[in-house]
Amino acid sequence: MEIFSAVSYLSSFLTILYVIVVIAFIKGWHSLIYFKTSEGEGKTRVSILVAARNEETNISNTIDDLLAQNYNKELTEIIFIDDHSTDRTAEIIRSYASRGVKLICLNEDQALNSYKKKAIQTAIGQSTGTLIITTDADCRMGPDWLKTIIQFYEAGNYKMISSPVAYFQEKSFFERAQSLEFLYLIGLGASTIGNKQPSTCNGANLAYEKEAFYEVGGFKGIDDLASGDDELLLHKIAARFDNNVGFLKNRDAIVYTHAKPTLKEFIQQRKRWASKSTRYKNKSIIVLGVCIWLFNLSVLMNLGIGLFIGFYFKLAVFQILAKIIVEFLFLYDVTGFARRRKLLLLLPVLNILHMIYIVYIGIAGNSGKYNWKGRMVK
C-alpha cells in the first residue's frame, strides 16, 4: 500500500507541475506582441536556403511562392540544395535558373548521418546574404512572408528569429489531429521564447544572421546527429547571445506544410524530432521534458491501476481533466492566432491517445534508428 500511496502523491505533484508549466506557456505566449508591418522598404540582403530530396511533386509550388515575394529582388538570393535526389527535383530547380534560382548539388562520396546540416552549411558558405532563412521544399508561404520577417529583423535586431509553421489542407481526421498537436508544439516554442528561455523552433521557418551562425561554430558539435539543424542551433545562438532570439507573431509570416498521411510516417518524423533531446546543453529543458513525460506516464499507470482500485481511476480522471482544461486555455489563443479554433473540438478525444504517443516517443525517439527521406539514420 505504501507504493500505491507514493504513486498517488507523485501523480498529484506531477499534475500540479504540469499545470504550472502550461500556465507559464500561456504567460509566454501573451508576452509576445503581435508584430505589425509598415510600408517601408527593407534594406537587408537575405539568402533563402532550401534543402531538397525527392520533392518533384511539391517543389515547383515552393519555388513559385518564393519568387512571388513582395521584397526587393536585388536583395533576395534563393538557393536550393539537392540532396542526392533520385527523381526530377534537380531538373525542376534548374528550369528556374533564368529567374535567379540557384542550385547546389551535394556530392558526398562517404555516407553521412546528417545530410541536411551538410546541405545548409554548404549553402551558407556560398551565400551572399546577411540574413539566412531556411524553409523546406514542400512548404507554402504568402507573398508578404519574406517582407514580414525582414521588417521584424530590422526592428528587433535579433540574432535568430523563429517564425510560425502550420499544417493545412488536411484530408483526414488523423491529419487534423496532427494539426492540433503541431500547433501546441509551435505555441510551446513561441512561449518559451516569450519567456526568454528558448527551447524549440522549426527549421521550416527559421532565420538567423550569417555572422551569428559562424560565431557559434555553425553545426560543429551537433553535426553527427541527423536532426537538430533548428533546435540545437537555437540553443547555441541563445546561449552565445544572451537569448537574443525573437518569435515572429504575425499571420503573414506563417509557413504552411502538410501533416503526415500515415501513422508510420508520423512516428518516424516524431522519433526524429525526439532524437535531438539527448543533446540539449540546457539541462533545465531536459528536466522539464522528463517531468512532462513522467506526468503522462503517471496518468496511464493510474488508469491501469484504476481497473482494480477505484481511487486511482478517479485520480487519473482528475489528471486528464486538469490536462484538458489547461491545454484548452493555452490552445485557445494559439489556434486563434492560426485561425483554426475548430480544431479544439478534437482536444478531449485526443488526450488519451496523445499520452500514449508521448510515452512511446519518449522512449523510441532516444533509442535506435529511424527512417528519414529513404535513409536509416540516428
Q: pLDDT band for 333, please (50, 70, 90 cuts).
A: very high
Report pLDDT for 377.
Answer: 56
Helix (H, G, I), strand (E, B) or coil at 225: coil
Mean pLDDT of the chain: 91
For the cut 90, the answer to whether the pLDDT of residue 222 exceeds it is no
H/E stretch holding 256 reads strand 255-257
Task: Set out the domains of the chain in order of their start, with CATH numbers.
Answer: 2-28+283-365 (no CATH), 35-185+193-268 (3.90.550.10)
Q: pLDDT band for 40, please (50, 70, 90 cuts).
A: confident
Q: Are 346 and 177 in contact (CB under 8 A)?
A: yes
Residue type, 152: F
Whole-model pTM: value is: 0.91
How much is the average pLDDT of 136-161? 96
Helices (H), ranges, 195-279:
210-215, 231-240, 263-274
How much is the average pLDDT of 61-78? 97
Q: How far apart are CA 277 and CA 283, in angstroms?
A: 10
pLDDT tens for 272-286 read 888 777 667 777 888
Q: How far apart are CA 352 and CA 19, in angstroms?
A: 17
The single residue listed with the C-alpha cell 554548404 is 122
User: If you write DSSP's letter for every residue of 284-302 in order, what string do you get?
Assistant: HHHHHHHHHHHHHHHHHHH
How much is the average pLDDT of 24-48? 95
For the cut 90, the answer to whether the pLDDT of residue 196 exceeds it is yes
Q: Are 181 and 354 in contact (CB under 8 A)?
A: yes
Q: pLDDT band for 212, please (50, 70, 90 cuts).
A: very high
List Cβ neighbours of 194 (8 Å cut-off, separation of 6 or more): 27, 28, 29, 30, 31, 32, 247
